[in-house]
Amino acid sequence: MTDVFSKAPFVRSFDKVTLITGGSKGIGKGCARVFAAAGAKVVICARGREAGEALAAEITAKGPGTCHFEPCDVSKTEQIQAVIDKTVALHGRLDCLINNAARFAVGKSIDASSLEEFQSMLQTNLMAYFAACKYALPHLRKTRGSIINMGSVVGAFGTWHSVMYNTTKGGIHALTKSLAIDEAESGVRVNAVLPGNIVTDAREKLEDSLPDATAFHAWAAAGRWRRPAWPVCFWPATPLHSSRASSCC
């Protein structure tokens, strides 16, 4: 990790107070590691206290940055507001918000999906992003900070029997572009990262649930489902997005 930042002095030791939703697993976990390795003061939030506290302790021990865990269910907007307030109380400011927490369901057509399921997914995957942006922006305007929303390539081109999840990701892309325009005058940068085939625990559990799990694992590993990547493979890009250096990109 150190070698990565030795070639990127604009993000090395950049001391950003960064809040990451869904930061205890998968992509959020990878982001937390990379930001702390760059020197950030990271706060991760998630529902699972045990995993979150263990990761925070591990990251802080490695340094040079720090990591603190706060429990939060992002489907409850009042908890999002509370974790933002606690982050500011802990560190005195907020420089970067990474909206990452999400749930997904694939393999379900619109006929097999209920309105209640879709509403629940919208609440976690889109409303939570909107709420986090709304509550974080008063603090981010003071620091001329940044928001990084975790979108997905499937929100741009769609995939088979994933209509609910893909719709929420498309909504995140629209939210990001609109908010970037609105907040330009306040100096807050708003970007989205669109991951593709990322190997996370959630994706592996999904694959294991498929009828032909062994064949699918082999098919995906061979690169037939695009080239797979791991959560820390390209996340050196996320500190760049949160850095003032990104204003020239």
Domains and CATH numbers, the chain: 2-198+231-248 (3.40.50.720)
- Listed as own residue / partner, the contacts of 57-61 with beta carbons closer than 8 Å and 24 or more positions apart are 59/32, 59/33, 60/36
pLDDT at residue 143 tops 80: yes
- Report residue 108's pLDDT band, with 50, 70 and 90 as the boundaries: confident
- pLDDT above 70 as % of the chain: 73
- pLDDT for the residue 231: 44
Query: What would the 3-class secondary structure string for the chain be?
Result: CHHHHHCCCCCCCCCCEEEEECCCCHHHHHHHHHHHHCCCEEEEEECCHHHHHHHHHHHHHHCCCEEEEEECCCCCHHHHHHHHHHHHHHHCCCCEEEECCCCCCCCECCCCCCHHHHHHHHHHHHHHHHHHHHHHHHHHHHHCCEEEEECCCHHHHCCCCEHHHHHHHHHHHHHHHHHHHHHHHHCCEEEEECCCCECCHHHHHHHHHCCCHHHHHHHHHCCECECCECCCCCCCHHHHHHCHHHHHC
- Of 26-40, 58-72, 84-98, 121-135, which range is least confident? 26-40
Query: Could you tell me if 3 and 36 are in contact, meaning their C-beta atoms sit under 8 angstroms apart?
Result: no
- pLDDT for the residue 2: 47
pLDDT at residue 88 tops 70: yes
- Report residue 214's pLDDT band, with 50, 70 and 90 as the boundaries: confident
In terms of pLDDT, which residue wins out, 42 or 232? 42
What does the pLDDT look like over 145-179, one tens digit per residue?
999 999 988 878 877 888 999 999 999 999 999 99
Catalytic residue among 5, 14, 165, 235: 165
- Cβ of 36: how many Cβ atoms within 10 Å? 24
Chain-centre distance for alpha carbon 9: 23
- pLDDT for the residue 248: 34
- Of 52-56, 78-82, 83-87, 245-249, which range is least confident? 245-249
What does the pLDDT look like over 109-141, one tens digit per residue?
899 999 999 999 999 999 999 999 999 999 999
Query: Could you tell me if 242 and 18 are in contact, meaning their C-beta atoms sit under 8 angstroms apart?
Result: yes
- Report residue 229's pLDDT band, with 50, 70 and 90 as the boundaries: very low
Any catalytic annotation for residue 165? Answer: yes
The token pair at 134 is 């709304």
The Cα-based distances of 2 to 5, 62, 242, 243 in angstroms read 5, 12, 18, 18
Chain-centre distance for alpha carbon 53: 18
d(CA 110, CA 145): 39
